[in-house]
Amino acid sequence: MSQSQPPAADPAEAPAQTSGARIARRALDLWSTWGIALVLLLLIALMALIAPNFVSLSNAFNIMRATSITAILAAGVTVVILTAGIDLSVGSVLAVCGVSSVVLWNAGLPAVLCVLIPILLGALIGLVHGTLVAYLSLAAFIVTLAGLTAWRGTAYALTGGRPLIAEGDLGFSMLGSGNFIAVPVPIWLMLATYAVLWFMLERTTWGRHVYAVGGNPEAALMAGIKVRRVLTSVYVISGLAAGLAGAMFAARVESGQPNSGQGYELEAIAAVVLGGTSLAGGRGRILGTLVGALIMGVLSNGMILMNTPFFTQLIVQGVVIVVAVAIDSLKNRYTR
């Protein structure tokens, strides 16, 4: 029986590491924080090389303006997905809110109310979804899938099935096409939405609670977090974002389009996933979603400039999403 007794190690000492491993881990840390932004930069560089007329300030504004509405929807959806929920209704909620803003305008209400009321309507719809999910324990997928159909129907009902043209000069059209300090207003609204949600998620107790509920609802309950209230609140946030996006859409086309926002829920979810937020909840960053949305925007803008057929664009978008998720999954495998 021979024994070897290595010198008693100080238990506080970290396990021995080679410098190569330290660099590898550092690289992995950097990737998980900045990887997706790097992808965006590479994509921009690529497009600058191959897409005609890609590099210009006005095209940059084009991309961001085109992205702003889905990016705002995606911001709200991020918060829902962080709690391991899902919101499939945002495209339809956008339509209801957009249409109602024009209805209110045509009824002679002041422009401010024509924007505020639809946003609150979005929040109210979110409250309904959230209550059903949190207090009746219905599956978020089902509740918001029902919402996707029902609110689309409501949008059509509001206009009698036809587009509703705004009478006279739409008082809040600047939300869609105005400029503020030489930058289009939709871009400001997008940045403001992300700034506010970043603050709420990173700097408030509510934000910590969202991550906690998404990461481990049972532990959240044991820690005294009002889980149902948090769950309800995230759908309200998503509804608010969809309401704002609806008003922006109506402002841009100066009419209420009951078919607006169709399929946007999928684009929004794609941006969230691209941005690194886990569909399992509890993990992800709101700014990642912004980058994810911009990647989709740059991709589609570049392909349009290159006259890529529409169906090819769809295929490329699908491939990009799968690649993003695959990278995320690999990342998890190597960060044991």
Binding site for another protein (CB under 8 A): 1-6, 8-9, 11-12, 14-18, 20-22, 24-25, 203-206, 208-209, 211-212, 215-216, 218-226, 278, 282-283, 334, 336
Length of the chain: 336
Nearer to another protein by Cβ, of 136 and 336: the residue is: 336
Residue 47 beta carbon to another protein: minimum distance, rounded to whole angstroms: 34
Nearer to another protein by Cβ, of 186 and 288: the residue is: 288
Residue 251 near residue 173, CB atoms below 8 Å:
yes
**Which residue carries 């869609």 as its tokens?**
176
Environment class of residue 232 by beta-carbon count within 10 Å: exposed (0-12), middle (13-18) or buried (19+)? buried
Residue 252 beta carbon to another protein: minimum distance, rounded to whole angstroms: 34
Per the rule left: phi > 0, alpha: psi between -120 and 50, beta: everything else, 23 is alpha
**Which residue carries 């045509």 as its tokens?**
106
Residue 203 beta carbon to another protein: minimum distance, rounded to whole angstroms: 5
Q: How many CA atoms lie within 13 A of 148 on its CB side?
A: 17
Residue 29 beta carbon to another protein: minimum distance, rounded to whole angstroms: 10
Residue 300 beta carbon to another protein: minimum distance, rounded to whole angstroms: 32
Nearer to another protein by Cβ, of 12 and 136: the residue is: 12
- Whole-Å CA distances, 235 to 55, 83, 263: 38, 10, 19
Nearer to another protein by Cβ, of 25 and 162: the residue is: 25
> Phi, psi at residue 62, to the nearest 5°?
-55, -50
Residue 332 beta carbon to another protein: minimum distance, rounded to whole angstroms: 10
Which residues is 184 bridged to in the sheet?
A: 179
Nearer to another protein by Cβ, of 213 and 250: the residue is: 213
Distance CA 144, CA 125 (A): 10
CA-CA-CA-CA dihedral for 295, 56, 193, 260, to nearest 10: -70
Nearer to another protein by Cβ, of 166 and 236: the residue is: 236
Residue 335 beta carbon to another protein: minimum distance, rounded to whole angstroms: 8
Nearer to another protein by Cβ, of 200 and 266: the residue is: 200
Distance CA 117, CA 98 (A): 11
Residue 89 near residue 126, CB atoms below 8 Å:
no
